[in-house]
Amino acid sequence: MKFFTLSPAAQVAAVIRRIYERGLTTASGGNISVMDGNGDIWITPKSVDKGGLTEKDIVCVHPNGTYDGLHEPSSEIAFHRATYRARPDFSALVHAHPVFCIAFSLTRTMPRVDLLPDTLLRCRNMRLSKYAMMGSVALGDHLYAEFSKGADVVFLENHGVCVGAGNLLDAYQRFETIEYAAKLDLLARKLGVPRALTAGQLSLYENRPQDLQEPLIGHVPDAAERALREELVGMLRRGCEHGLLSGATGVCSARVDERAFLIAPEGMDNALLEEDDLVLVRAGCAETGKRPSLETALHERIYRQHANVAAVCSAAPANVMAFAASGRSFETSTVPESYFMLRAVPKRPFEEPIASPKAAAALFSERTPVVLFENNRVVTTGPSLFAAFDRLEVAEATAASILIAKEAGDIVYLSEKEIQDLIDTFHLD
């Protein structure tokens, strides 16, 4: 992953384009910045199309207020400077107006972030800032007040959200996560009162063991493995583009042979991974110098117990996770294709894939290719990487259709006879 080899201006340009491409800002909305070791602030320009910014368009604002660049700096430079004064530990800020965060901004409330461990760990330090005119000194004063109280995420009344972090990639992931948390909160409410994580569950998640032995030394991929690495990286990027994964959340893996599989690394951004970043795990050993995902234990157990499984995806797409964070079961008998692809999806306790990966892996079979773990993950399996990914996509589309249909009227699910006809016709037993 080459992100941190880029210049501050190149980082800013890359992240603002990514925000725009993900539909998290408009062509003229939002602004992001990086403060370098000299105290210079590299910031997006004023009134320039966010979808086409390049490194040359980014403006460098010096500590004395002068600036260098082709354009004027963002009109919000004042609040960026105020926030960096409030939080010397920040080196990057992201401010934009994504629709679900705006929903809370308009109601002058904040979303729940305690429905998943990922959202709670990344966004639990939240504050709400009083309204002030955009670009005003007062807006900077209000943000200074809230960030100086230890906030990492500040909702601006009627003005979106601002997040900060020690580097721009962490700030982006926090921004992406708070918009996801806002969406998940509102979706889960459609199914009743959302169920929060317990302190014990959060502690279990934070202290997940890395159950690997000695490093795997001297591994050289052959042509087949190199092709599989390319395919897996492509699927991870596609998952981010389609909202099935995020930069920081979700893992895919693929079997190499009877004893080995490739998996995404821990602590890197799924959308920025390159083939060499993936980690080969063989018989409990990982490639030297690489750290596989902390979800590796479950994936390894699934491969060990199910010779027919060639790929595993564990992710948290928002519509499916609305069911994971509620008391409602995830019913897949909506359209024939959904049941055909997913079968009946059991919902299991949060703790199971972490505390008992062997027992969790035993849940899967050809009849049960998908399992939903409460407030945690949906895990899909398949005889190919495409099949496992397709099941993840179908699961999210199925969940979304149920949540949308609730606004149209009473949902009619396929009958037991219709399900049995599917089973008989396509030999699903």
391-412 confidence digits (pLDDT tens): 999 999 999 999 999 889 999 9
Question: What stretch(es) of the chain map to CATH 3.40.225.10?
Answer: 3-189, 222-425
Percent of the chain with pLDDT over 90: 91
Residue of 286, 279, 264, 315 whose CA lies nearest to 211: 286
Q: What angle do CA 411, 415, 418 make, to 5 degrees?
A: 125
Looking at residue 219, its pLDDT comes to 83
Note the pLDDT tens digit of each residue in 354-371.
999 999 999 999 999 999
Q: How many whole angstroms separate alpha carbon 59 and alpha carbon 76?
A: 13
Q: How many CA atoms lie within 13 A of 326 on its CB side?
A: 21
pLDDT at 14: 96
Paired tokens of 54: 């390049």
Q: How far apart are CA 277 and CA 286, in angstroms?
A: 12
Instruction: Provide the pLDDT for residue 328.
Output: 94
Mention the CATH class of domain 3-189.
alpha beta
> Phi, psi at residue 110, to the nearest 5°?
-130, 150
Rounded Cα gap, residues 26 and 180, in angstroms: 17
pTM, full prediction: 0.96
pLDDT tens figures, 221-254 = 999 999 999 999 999 999 999 999 999 999 999 9
Q: What count of residues does the chain have?
A: 429
Instruction: Sort 93 into a burial class: Cβ within 10 Å, 0-12 / 13-18 / 19+.
Output: buried
Q: Are 29 and 97 in contact (CB under 8 A)?
A: yes
**Angle 385-229-121 (CA atoms, 0-180°, nearest 5)?**
80
Would you state the pLDDT for residue 335?
Answer: 95
Q: What is the mean pLDDT of the chain?
A: 95
Is residue 379 within 8 Å of residue 313, measured between CB atoms?
yes
Tokens of 241: 């583009």
Report, as ranges of residue numbers, the positions in the chain whose pLDDT lies below 70: 211-214
Q: Does domain 222-425 have CATH number 3.40.225.10?
A: yes
Say if CB 73 and CB 45 are below 8 A apart.
yes
Q: How far apart are the first and last CA of the chain?
A: 43
Instruction: Give the CA distances from residue 409 to residues 187, 193, 287, 400, in Å, rounded to whole numbers and listed in that order.
Output: 17, 20, 53, 15
Q: Provide the pLDDT for residue 427.
A: 87
For residue 240, report the phi and psi dihedrals to the nearest 5 degrees: -70, -40
Looking at residue 112, its pLDDT comes to 97
Asked if residues 362 and 293 have their Cβ atoms less than 8 Å apart, the reply is: no
Among 8, 15, 2, CA closest to 36: 8
Q: Looking at residue 413, what is its pLDDT?
A: 95
Contact call for residues 182 and 101 (beta carbons, < 8 A):
yes
Q: Which of 346, 419, 423, 331 is nearest to 380 (CA)?
A: 346
pLDDT of the residue at 346:
98
